[in-house]
Each structure stands twice: as structure tokens, then as C-alpha cells.
């Protein structure tokens, strides 16, 4: 694969549309970098070694050719940063709570989530007694794992996936890194345990990172042209 072709010109297009939007709103050029610096091959290898997983190729080349964070679908992409010697995905500069990819198993699709929670609780010697309409056993996780219950539940719910974007109002985007749907995107709504739903393209196919990103960029370009016209 010629990875230099995969994202050729994308950085320049994003910068152009952002500056066009600023001009249309009467603002001057942005004083801030549009993207975080790209990662070197050695840094990407370090990320993959830390988490014990190969990143989906389209995202891997994005990190190498475009940037480790920056503009993206919805509000912004999360930023992949090294913090105190460890890599993690950061939203809105909050380096105190980076997302650390849990790669010990595949991402669990929504229809299988209740069974996964039951298996985890039973393996800890606990028989669940409650279940809400969203197939949520969070209260049982708190009983079994104490103060760490929320974190254990949250990490397991996002297992095998990268928190790739925050979409506002508690909604988030996820890139599957482990499992049969590796490379696809999922959307998560703002409730405690709503289903993760696939991002779908115009043809009804699940988006991959590249198609998801380009679809967003092309829509912004159309909107910028319409505003200018």
C-alpha cells in the first residue's frame, strides 16, 4: 500500500475549509495549529507495543501523515499523546483522564453487552440480582468492585475500541481496534448504557475511519462553498 496517497492533500483541505469558515464569520486566520504533530514510525510502534494491538491501518496512516489529533467529525478528534511515559487518547486537553485502550478482548456489540456483564460478575463469584431496561448491571459492578466499579464497567464497555471523538452532550465516537469489526466506527449516545450504533455511509455500509473522516470533510467543504456563494 502506498500510504502517502491515502491521506494526500487532506491536511491542506481541512485547513482551507477552516480558514474559509473563519473568513465567512468575519474572523482572521487562526493563531493555533490546526493539527497536532504527526507521529513517527517509532512512536506508532511504541503505541502498538504498549497496548498489544496493531492500530487499524487507516487510522495508523492518519497519525503518520496528518496528525495525532485535530479537527474531525462532530467536535474534534481525540489526541493521542504520551503522558508520563504512557500513551493515551485525550479530549479537550484533559491529560488527567486519558482513554487507555483495553485490548484483552474484542469489542462487544450492543446485543451482546448484557451477556458480557453477566459473565464478568459471575466470574467474580457474584450472581446479579438487578437489571434495568438498558441491560445495565452497573449497580452490581459497584457492589462487586467497590469504588472502582464505575471504572471497571466503563473500561469493559469500551474494551477493544478507541475513544476517537467527542460529539458533544456526552455523545462519543469509537474506532474498533479488536474483533471481527476492526476498523469500523461506532456512535455512543449520552445515556449510561445506550446501544453503540454503527456509523453508516450513504450506501448503507459501516464507515471505516477514512470514509467517516472524508464524509465529514466533504460535507464541510460543501457547506463552505454554499456560504461563500
| Domains detected in the chain | 3-107+158-228 (3.40.1580.10), 108-157 (no CATH)
The 76-77 sheet, strands edge to edge: 76-77, 161-168, 171-176, 185-188, 196-198
Query: 77 near 69, Cβ under 8 Å?
Result: yes
pLDDT by residue for the chain (229 residues), tens only, comes to: 444 558 999 999 999 998 888 888 888 877 777 899 999 999 999 999 999 999 999 999 999 999 999 999 988 999 999 999 999 999 988 899 999 999 999 999 988 998 999 999 999 999 987 776 666 888 899 999 999 999 999 999 999 999 999 888 878 999 999 999 999 999 998 765 667 899 999 999 999 999 999 999 999 999 988 876 6
- Host H or E run for residue 82: strand 79-83
Query: How open is the CA angle 191-197-202, to the nearest 5 degrees?
Result: 135
**pLDDT attached to residue 28:** 80
HSE (CB half, 13 Å, CA atoms) of 41? 1
**pLDDT attached to residue 5:** 55
- pTM exceeding the 0.75 threshold for the entire prediction: yes
Query: For residue 149, how many other CB atoms are within 10 A of its CB?
Result: 16
Amino acid at each position: 500500500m502506498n500510504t502517502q496517497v491515502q491521506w494526500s492533500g487532506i491536511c491542506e483541505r481541512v485547513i482551507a475549509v477552516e480558514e474559509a469558515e473563519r473568513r465567512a464569520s468575519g474572523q482572521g486566520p487562526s493563531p493555533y495549529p490546526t493539527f497536532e504533530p504527526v507521529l513517527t514510525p517509532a512512536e506508532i510502534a511504541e503505541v502498538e507495543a504498549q497496548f498489544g494491538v496493531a492500530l487499524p491501518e487507516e487510522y495508523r496512516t492518519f497519525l503518520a501523515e496528518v496528525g495525532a489529533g485535530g479537527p474531525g467529525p462532530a467536535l474534534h478528534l481525540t489526541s493521542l499523546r504520551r503522558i508520563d511515559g504512557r500513551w493515551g487518547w485525550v479530549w479537550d486537553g484533559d491529560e488527567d483522564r486519558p482513554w487507555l485502550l483495553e485490548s484483552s478482548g474484542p469489542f462487544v456489540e450492543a446485543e451482546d453487552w448484557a451477556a458480557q456483564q453477566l459473565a464478568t460478575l459471575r466470574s467474580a463469584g457474584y450472581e446479579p440480582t438487578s437489571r434495568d431496561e438498558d441491560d445495565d448491571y452497573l449497580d452490581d459492578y459497584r457492589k462487586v468492585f467497590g469504588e472502582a466499579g464505575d471504572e471497571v464497567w466503563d473500561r469493559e464497555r469500551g474494551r477493544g475500541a478507541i475513544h476517537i471523538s467527542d460529539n458533544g452532550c456526552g455523545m462519543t465516537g469509537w474506532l474498533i481496534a479488536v474483533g471481527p469489526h476492526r476498523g469500523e466506527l461506532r456512535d455512543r449516545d449520552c445515556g449510561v448504557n445506550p446501544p453503540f450504533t454503527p456509523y453508516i455511509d450513504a450506501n448503507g455500509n459501516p464507515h471505516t475511519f477514512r470514509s467517516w473522516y472524508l464524509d465529514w470533510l466533504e460535507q464541510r467543504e460543501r457547506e463552505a462553498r454554499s456560504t461563500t456563494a
